[in-house]
Amino acid sequence: MGRAASLLFAAHGAHVIIVDRNGEGADDTVAEIRRLGGSAEAHRVDLVDQNALDGFIDTFVRDDEVLDILFNHAGLPGPPAFQYDAESWYTCMAINVWVPMILTKRLLPQLRRSKSASIICTASIAGLRAVSFLPTYSASKAALIQFVKSAAQMLAAEGIRINAICPGATDTPALRRDLSDGTLNTTIEAIAASVPMKRMGTPQDMAHMALFLASDASSFMTGVAIPVDGGATA
């Protein structure tokens, strides 16, 4: 989803700054953007590592920088069921809640220099309704949605918008890796059958929503969590 959004944003004229712990994937995306005539750069950072995150921000962010769009997309699924312990719980909460919160805080000076700043966070329909087998993930995404709503109230008067995308079941390479045990096709078919539109979402579906929220087309929208889920939450 992050790759799809990066390509789409670049195609619409954005200079895209990719921050990811997967340096090879980030570099490949930058290369593709440049091949298509766009502008991008990549930074390899493990966002869960507070020292690495602080170091990136301190090194990269300049006082006169103008940032128009902050897309907080990085996330982790977290441990299933009751298999969580302190370490796995904190790691999930760190990447899904703390990282968007601290990036938003630290980059506010740059966002305030923009004439139409937009912050976008990737939440999940798991933050809107219970997902019984992912309690840690569901709790983290619900917390992220409430942060978005609260931050929107604080920033609205400054003209800075912040909204959340709540993807439903989405067919991504990560999902296919997790299901690479011989049940892939059967599981994909079962997931698709459970969605009212009878298909899974695509990374491009989520990227187009991100582009909408980043653009002036959504200029009167802030503090909302939008399901992109084929009707699942309906």
Residue 68, domain member (yes or no):
yes
Domain range enclosing 78: 45-170+202-228
Question: Does any domain span residue 191?
Answer: no
pTM for this one?
A: 0.94
Backbone angles phi, psi at 130, to 5 degrees: -70, 140
Q: Give the CATH number for residue 73.
A: 3.40.50.720
| pLDDT score at 132 | 83
Q: Closest Cα partner for 143 from 97, 100, 101? A: 97
pLDDT digit string (tens) for 105-118?
Answer: 999 999 999 999 99
Burial status of residue 162 (CB atoms within 10 A of its CB: 0-12, 13-18, 19 or more): buried
Q: How confident is the model at residue 61 (pLDDT cuts 50, 70, 90)?
A: confident
In a domain, 190, yes or no: no
pLDDT classification of 60: cutoffs 50, 70, 90: confident
**141 within a domain of the structure (yes/no):** yes
Q: Does the residue 56 lie in any domain? A: yes
> Token digits for 32?
């593709």
Catalytic: 90? no
User: Higher-confidence residue: 174 or 121?
Assistant: 121
Q: Which of 9, 56, 84, 137 is catalytic?
A: 137
Number of domains into which the chain is organized: 1
Backbone phi, psi, residue 170, to 5°: -130, 130
Q: Is the pLDDT of residue 127 over 80?
A: yes
Angle at 107 between CA 9 and CA 115, to 5 degrees: 60
pLDDT the model gives residue 55: 92
Banded model confidence at residue 165, pLDDT cuts 50, 70, 90: very high
- Is residue 34 domain-resident? no
